[in-house]
Amino acid sequence: MFVVERAEGLLNEERRRAILHALNRDGRVLVKDLASSFQISQITIRKDLEVLQSRGLLHRTHGGALTPPTGALSDLSLQEKEKLHRAEKVRIAQAAVQFVEEGQSILLDSGTTTMAIARALRNFRRLTVITNAINIAAELANSEIEVILTGGTVRKNSFSLVGPLAEETLRHLSADILFLGVDGFDTRLGLSTPNLQEAKVNRVMVEISRKAVAVCDSSKFGRRSLSTIVPPNAIHQVITDKKIAKTDLQNLKDAGVALTLV
């Protein structure tokens, strides 16, 4: 069991750093063991784990936490992604809708950041939203916005529609702005996703859009997933938070990509 030499009087951040130290050492932590070691309630420990998960530093499980998956095949469910970097996603969404005008056609990829954008678009009246995400279509179904759903095969992890039907539908459409969420963004190699079919659909999205905007929090930079979507210079703009590394900022500027930091 994890033992803390000085359990009493620890500040919240000190305690959370100690939790991460134990997690990195052992690969997992249990709520009951942490509560006993720190001599505090399990409710407080659960809150600590939720805060650390929101920063992308661990993966919550029943009764504890695990180190977060980081491999190229890592493909968290939509529910798991929803818990990560919530504040950043809301700020990114608020910045994204500033580029939208009434009368435009907006293309939304699947994902939790694009879902936040969909929610921020609900006040528009003359807008067409094209999406391959079932949950985004459902979110906007009772709004004034016209919604076009691509069709295709459902990916259960992401509620997205992929495959030849989704690609063919998109090829018959065009969008003023694409908001594209990604799992990995290597600023030298490009944007990536762990699913090959999702990557193919995303590439078509970029092709049919007048302006392609990548929307992702800073934790996505420096990561590579299995399948590359497009190189960085295929994207016109990136909206991300201010924690992005300076080297990534410079690489994007060198590629001619406009930046909005929130």
Q: pTM for this structure? A: 0.73
List the structure tokens of 213.
Answer: 């905007």
For 93, other C-beta atoms within 10 Å of its C-beta total 22
Question: Is residue 110 a contact partner of residue 160, using CB atoms and an 8 Å limit?
Answer: yes
Planar angle of CA 208, 110, 164, nearest 5 degrees: 55
Output the pLDDT for position 81: 56
Q: SS in 3 state form for 136-196?
A: HHHHHCCCCCEEEECCCEEECCCCEEECHHHHHHHHCCCEEEEEECCCEEECCCEEEECCH
Output the pLDDT for position 86: 81
Output the pLDDT for position 5: 47
Output the pLDDT for position 107: 98
Q: What is the DSSP string of the chain?
A: ----TT-TT--HHHHHHHHHHHHHHHSEEEHHHHHHHHTS-HHHHHHHHHHHHHTTS-EEETTEEEPPP-STT----HHHHHTSSHHHHHHHHHHHGGG--TT-EEEE-SSHHHHHHHHHTTT-SS-EEEESBHHHHHHHTTSSSEEEE---EEETTTTEEESHHHHHHHHT--EEEEEE--SEEETTTEEEES-HHHHHHHHHHHHTEEEEEEE--GGGBT---SEEEE-GGG-SEEEE-TTS-HHHHHHHHHTT-EEEE-
Output the pLDDT for position 4: 52
What are the per-10-residue average pLDDT scores of the chain (262 residues)? 52 88 81 92 92 77 74 51 74 98 97 95 96 96 96 90 97 98 91 93 98 93 88 97 91 96 96
Output the pLDDT for position 83: 55
Q: Which domains does the chain have, with CATH numbers?
A: 12-68 (1.10.10.10), 80-261 (3.40.50.1360)
Query: In sequence order, which residues have a C-beta less than 8 Å from that of residue 190 and are 6 or more positions away?
Result: 228, 229, 230, 231, 232, 234
CA–CA distance, 154 with 18 (Å, rounded to integer): 41
Output the pLDDT for position 73: 45
